[in-house]
Structure 1
Amino acid sequence: MSELLRRYPLPVIVLAQLFGTSLWFSVNGVWVSFSRELSLTESDLGLYTLAVQAGFIVGTLTIAVTGLADRFGASRIFAVASLLGALANGGFILAAAQPPVDGILRFLTGLCLAGIYPLGMKMVIAWTPKYAGAALAWLVGMLTLGTALPHLMRGATLGMPWEWPLLGASLLALVGGGLVLLLGDGPHLPKSNGAIPLNRGLAALRAPRFRAVAGGYIGHMWELYAFWMLTPLLVSRELQRLAWPEGLVPWLSFGIIATGALGCIGGGRLSRRLGSDWVARRALALSGLLCVGYPLLAWLPPLALIALLFVWGLAVIADSPQFSALAAANAPKESVGSSLAVMNAIGFGLTLPAIWMTSGLWEYLGPWVVAILIPGPIFGLWAFRGIKEGPTR
């Protein structure tokens, strides 16, 4: 079985990434029925999302400062994280709306995701180093589909208990962890010997090019997860204006977020011809324009705004794999995992205030709340300005 999987390492890794990251927004996917049953508000949705993000940040920082990603096999960390994440996600069903246990379990889910997403990036680079930009595009595409998957699972189980999609996400994570464990680690990254200096991951930020790439990624992250959190709220607003059934919310939310996978994969193909920097810059600029334009166009017919959300869903994530590929290419080879973990930790750190503000102000600002996301693309483009364009891989 292992030999068969090693013939097709990229499909195995991206499928495991899809299954593992279904844990991320598992609660968001069932939000409409979940919140009604337990009398929760949009601020509660923000708090659950923040707990996952906070757990992910703590996890990535732990990986970065301890060098775990460079001291132990990525496949083993991925598999253990998938198992523990599945248990924490399943445990949430028993503790829903019972603070602080519910929040702690979402935090633990995010902590485990730190062993899935960054380690998945390292495995892709280890197995397919020649075209890292295109390969990472598939990986982040699966992260995007994994984020959207709970919405699809909720749409497919309408009328059934909201617990079912959460259990489904946990089962998928277990399968993903098992696949990666059977696959093992790739041959193309050097293994570290002995202890890893605590600041090795942070040291990559001293390199101007890596710092510029990290700045672009950080700006992109200010926007990304807040947009994904807002998607069902924005969709629900337009369906109410159309007087269409709210049962369409999970289907449309899935479609909008999942469209980002096409942006990732299409951007990955373009990166092989035009360069990762070319793709990242233009995707970030397009999503930035939508941050500016969407609230100004909130008077348009609902179907036009839903169409804009699909365009936004396509652009908002298309730059992410290219930033990751550029970061991996410019990080010290002996500490790629730790360097990516540092970049992820900083980027995800900025998702916290963005999610907190947009979820807390939605009740008062409605679609105008997306204006809070504008500084992210502006800063990212400014930080990335010194990177020259051209094919790089």
Structure 2
Amino acid sequence: MNPSKIILPVIVVSQFCCTSLWFAGNGVMPNLVSSFGLTESAVGHLTSAVQFGFIMGTLVFAILSIADRFSPSKVFLCCALLGALFNLGVIWEGNSLMSLLAFRFSTGFFLAGIYPVGMKIAADYFEKGLGKSLGFLVGALVVGTAFPHLLKEVTHTLSWASVLVGTSSLAVLGGVLMVSLVPDGPFRKPNQKLHLSAFLKVFQNGKFRSAAFGYFGHMWELYAFWAFVPLMLKTYSIIHPATTFNIPLLSFFIIAIGGLACVLGGYLAQALGTKKVAFVALLLSGICCLVSPLLFAQTSESAFIAFLLYWGMVVIADSPLFSTLVAQNALPELKGTALTIVNCIGFAITIVSIQLLNALNTFTISNKMYMVLALGPFLGLLALVRKR
């Protein structure tokens, strides 16, 4: 077999394995709450801790141009090993809320060397058809993000710690696969110099700014939706007491189906254009935000689940397309830095939206709170239209 033909599958599998660390805490959140005496608001705080760690990690990686100065595969391996280690820290019996936040923050920090670096590796191999390649890659991220929910469901007869051991083991496997089978790509342009202002230079390009601001609007909605999917299902069950949802399993499918949407979006982008498909997906997910309150009153369980599955697809379908536009409009020698700083800002935005929903959930029982997520798609669409 031609070695180049296994590159994308290896990157995809490695990305899936390592990004399973992301929502590992959410997959066992009820157990963490009961085992360590946490409050219900811990779900928002622990999710945000991962996001904040990722933000700080991407900021450091971008300022130091780590992905452009060093072998991306080796950076990926080191971060996979360290992320797996800190993920295991959650098992420690002496944990308090502060130590749990520290472990989740550290896991997020080293995810900065996994997700954007994985996209950088793909961009170094696939200049043509990058949208389709990143569709598979982000699809792997989506399934990896959803995986802890499934792992919690299928290991319900085992301790919740097995979920964390399983995700950490997968991360180690992903890092080893990447460094063993994916050497530096043919389109990589190493940047040996340290330019502390490089992460600001990338925004001088108007097309780059348009893609970046579209991505920022998308991120306002995405992780808040993912974080609150279990709560949406729980809320519906309370409103309709006859409902019998398997929340971990449904959460997995609602999030994981977005992986299929990423792949389909990549193929559609080849035929219709990357920017056009991203625009439509962002518009559809914004509409879902606005109509979401109506669905909670829907007495049909199947209609409610179908809506969440549809939302789970359109909320992520544009993500690899915006990353493609960012990579294509960045200077080749700063491609890794560009992807990293855009991720940094995008994930900073997710903390605001997650904490906003967390606060609204504390002060109101109204399901209209999810309408605030439409603000991101609206501003992202505005950025894309203005550039046109």
Classify the TM-score, shorter chain: over 0.9
Tell me the alpha carbon deviations over residues 186-244 of structure 1, each in whole angstroms, 9 at most, x when there is no partner.
Answer: 11121123x23111122111111100110000000000000000001111222342534
Tell me whether 1:292 sits opposite 2:290 in the alignment. Answer: yes
Aligned position for 1:376: 376
Shift of 1:42: 3.2
Aligned position for 1:336: 335
RMSD of aligned alpha carbons: 1.6
Aligned position for 1:157: 155
Mapped to 2, the partners of 1:359 and 1:220 lie a distance apart of: 19
Aligned position for 2:309: 310
Tell me the alpha carbon deviations over residues 347-373 of structure 1, each in whole angstroms, 9 at most, x when there is no partner.
Answer: 111111111111232242352221221
Mapped to 2, the partners of 1:166 and 1:83 lie a distance apart of: 14
| 1:237–1:100 Cα change, 3 Å | same
Mapped to 2, the partners of 1:42 and 1:135 lie a distance apart of: 39
Q: Write the letter of the residue equivalent to 2:219.
A: M
Q: 2:80 aligns with which of 70, 78, 82?
A: 82
What SS is found at the alignment partner of 1:384?
A: helix
What SS is found at the alignment partner of 1:100?
A: helix
Shift of 1:94: 0.5
Mapped to 2, the partners of 1:386 and 1:136 lie a distance apart of: 25
Aligned position for 1:198: 196
The worse-fitting range, judged by mean Cα deviation, of 150-159 and 283-292 is: 150-159
What SS is found at the alignment partner of 1:34?
A: helix
Mapped to 2, the partners of 1:201 and 1:341 lie a distance apart of: 9
| 1:159–1:244 Cα change, 3 Å | farther
Mapped to 1, the partners of 2:226 and 2:94 lie a distance apart of: 22
Mapped to 2, the partners of 1:219 and 1:245 lie a distance apart of: 34
Structure 1: which 5+ runs fail to align?
Answer: 389-393
What SS is found at the alignment partner of 2:54?
A: helix
Shift of 1:102: 1.2
| 1:156–1:103 Cα change, 3 Å | same
Aligned position for 1:365: 365
Aligned position for 1:326: 325
Mapped to 1, the partners of 2:37 and 2:235 lie a distance apart of: 19
What SS is found at the alignment partner of 1:130?
A: coil
Q: Write the letter of the residue equivalent to 1:85.
A: G
Mapped to 2, the partners of 1:10 and 1:81 lie a distance apart of: 20
Aligned position for 1:348: 347
Aligned position for 1:102: 100
Aligned position for 1:71: 69
Q: Write the letter of the residue equivalent to 1:226.
A: A
What SS is found at the alignment partner of 1:385?
A: helix
| 1:12–1:90 Cα change, 3 Å | same
Aligned position for 2:228: 230
Tell me the alpha carbon deviations over residues 119-138 of structure 1, each in whole angstroms, 9 at most, x when there is no partner.
Answer: 00000111222110000000
Aligned position for 2:142: 144
Mapped to 1, the partners of 2:2 and 2:178 lie a distance apart of: 13
8 Å CA contact retained: 1:137, 1:321:
yes
8 Å CA contact retained: 2:24, 2:148:
yes
What SS is found at the alignment partner of 1:188?
A: coil
Q: Write the letter of the residue equivalent to 1:141.
A: G
8 Å CA contact retained: 2:255, 2:312:
yes
What SS is found at the alignment partner of 2:385?
A: coil
| 1:113–1:17 Cα change, 3 Å | same
Q: 1:134 aligns with which of 132, 135, 156?
A: 132
8 Å CA contact retained: 1:148, 1:254:
yes
Mapped to 1, the partners of 2:218 and 2:57 lie a distance apart of: 20
Aligned position for 2:11: 13
What SS is found at the alignment partner of 2:365?
A: helix
8 Å CA contact retained: 2:116, 2:336:
yes
Shift of 1:41: 3.2
Q: Write the letter of the residue equivalent to 1:178.
A: V
Mapped to 1, the partners of 2:194 and 2:343 lie a distance apart of: 19
Tell me whether 1:259 sits opposite 2:267 in the alignment. Answer: no
| 1:301–1:50 Cα change, 3 Å | same
8 Å CA contact retained: 1:239, 1:302:
no
Q: Write the letter of the residue equivalent to 1:347.
A: G
Q: Write the letter of the residue equivalent to 1:281.
A: F
8 Å CA contact retained: 2:38, 2:97:
no
Shift of 1:99: 3.2
Shift of 1:5: 5.7
Mapped to 2, the partners of 1:33 and 1:93 lie a distance apart of: 11
| 1:171–1:204 Cα change, 3 Å | same
Mapped to 2, the partners of 1:171 and 1:186 lie a distance apart of: 26
Tell me the alpha carbon deviations over residues 239-290 of structure 1, each in whole angstroms, 9 at most, x when there is no partner.
Answer: 34253446x1100000000010111000001011111101100110000000
Shift of 1:63: 1.0
Provide runs of 4+ in structure 1 moved above 6 Å. Answer: none
Q: Write the letter of the residue equivalent to 1:327.
A: V
